[in-house]
A = this chain, B = another copy of it.
Amino acid sequence: MVRRPLTNPRKEASQERSRATVDALVEATARILVSEGFDKASTNRIAEVAGVSVGSLYQYFPSKEALVAAVSERHRQEIMRLVRGELAKVASQPIEQGVRTLVAVAIKSHRIDPKLHRVLAEQIPRVGRLEKVETFNGGNYDLFRTYLEEHRDELCVDSLELAAFVCVTSIEALTHTAVLHRPKMLCGETAEALIDDATRLVVGYLKGCELR
């Protein structure tokens, strides 16, 4: 059996020209996802918008899924960069203030590219290699867990593992749902009310021992 010479191999971009092509493709995919939706993001259309040929597209991305995954990954990393930075700042602050900052940054992270965030959350079928796109929190659990460990003495919970899950999941859900489905909730003083309550929810849980 003979290996086909050089047909399939999806290459890694090495020269500068090809790097630009790859960037254009990812960027075009993101733009189409936002402006036309997932259905309309066909490989032909992506290539057209990117200003390259379909052939070139398939030199760097083995499938349409791979392109969407690249867009999703880029977005996830932007969010992680923001969260990581903010978490470093509040590392030494007490729980009360730290959590409040994190709630604020959670909202902020949903505003990096809200339209893309929405499409990624609502229109992408999590299947095949898109299965692990899941939530954008993968690494956030560990980050927050580490933060909690450094404040162990302030806390009143049995398991930091479980606590991190409860806090991150709740904050993510509250901010995600608010931004996507309750836009009014983030206008004017209502936004403050949400941040207040979300903070109280989480801090009360982390510090309150009186119950059980």
Contact = CB atoms under 8 A, between A and B. Distances in A.
Interface residues of A, number: 42
**A contact face: mostly helix, strand, loop, or mixed:** helix
Contacts of A6: none
A174 interface: yes
A181 B162 CA distance: 14
A11 B65 CA distance: 38
Contact of A158 (B163, B178, B193, B205): B193
A135 B182 CA distance: 13
A204 B197 contact: no
Contact of A126 (B122, B126, B177, B203): B122
A208 interface: yes
A39 interface: yes
Interface of A: 37-39, 122-127, 134-135, 157-159, 162-163, 165-166, 169-170, 172-174, 177-178, 181-182, 185, 193-194, 196-198, 200-205, 208, 211-212
